[in-house]
Every structure is written in structure tokens, then in C-alpha cells.
Chains A and B, each alone.
Chain A
């Protein structure tokens, strides 16, 4: 009878099983969402999380048919293309405003993002300008 500890076999089988489960899940069943910047949308229409900087003017109301309207450009690129966003849903988070970095989730089609979600950052990560 083998006197080898079953621990190694258990560990090896368990590791293999876990690997199989999550590789299968993320490859087949998992719904991953592309994370893009506004300038990449033209080449990748469809549902995505778009990371960018809010460009004003911000107008409208997310609860109305017309939605909340604003622009979104690439981070760190003041001259990049500005993609229009029409957002419907809950009021945007308190920290949402022009010039702030946000993540807009929605569908890009015909040159426009139909947004369904807006994510802003934790308040401590926005540092305002000091008052002179």
C-alpha cells in the first residue's frame, strides 16, 4: 500500500479543477465588457465601458426622454475627438461634472454613446484647485 501522503494529489487535482472552471467560465460563459477610450469607439461599435473626461456643456436630465447630454474625450489629450453622450438612468453620481474623469457604460452607434451607467471616482481622488 502506498505510504505517500494524499495531500499532494488532492492539491494537484484541486488546482486543476479550479483552473478549468474559471478558464471555461471567462472564455465561454463570462460576459466581459471592452474598456475603451472615446477615440477607439469608431473601430469598436457596440456595448462598452468608455473611460474619458467629461466635456461641457452638460445639459438635460437623465430621467427625461431627451436624457442628460454631454461630451466625452480621451484622458490626457485635450485635442482628441469629443464623442457625444446621451445618458438615461439614475441621476449621475454627485461628483459628475465637466472636466472630471468618468467611466460611461453604454452602446456606441452612429457616432453617439447611449449611456446607461456613469461611474465617478472616490471623492478623495479628485483634488480641486487651491484658491489663490
Chain B
């Protein structure tokens, strides 16, 4: 192996070790070394937010399908009520969760 190659290999290995050890070098002692995963409360809010978005998207989709003729008037009336209700419920549940103390 030429001298240049040796230098480059050593530099590469050193760089690799440095990058891998960086989190430990930055924080030799960590107050809290836990993975910043969502808490149970965060998860609940996330689930409620996803339900809200899904319900609103379904409502929007239904309105669009009705305007473009894929859904007839009778079907629209049948479907829109329950969808609006579930969207409202999702919004209320999310508001309650966000207002609740963490």
C-alpha cells in the first residue's frame, strides 16, 4: 500500500469513528438519555389529530363527489350527516385533549 493510501485509509477510519462517537462527545453525560418518543398523551393527541384529518378529508371528498355527480342527492344526504357528526366529534375530542393539562 502506498503512503498516500495509508494516510487516506487512516483518515477515513478516524473520520468514521469520530462521526459515530459524535453524540457521546457532544454529551458525555446526558441528563436524559431516553429516546424522544411521543408520550402516551402525545400519541393520543396524534391519533385524534389523524382522526380529525381523516374525517374532514372524507367530508371534503364526499362534497366533491357530489358536485361531480358520482354521488347522487339521496346518497349524499344519507352519508353527509354521519360524516359531519364524526368530524365534529373528532374536533371536540381533539380540543378536549389539547386543553387538558399534559
A–B contact at 8 Å CB threshold (below): no
B residues at A contact (CB < 8 Å): none
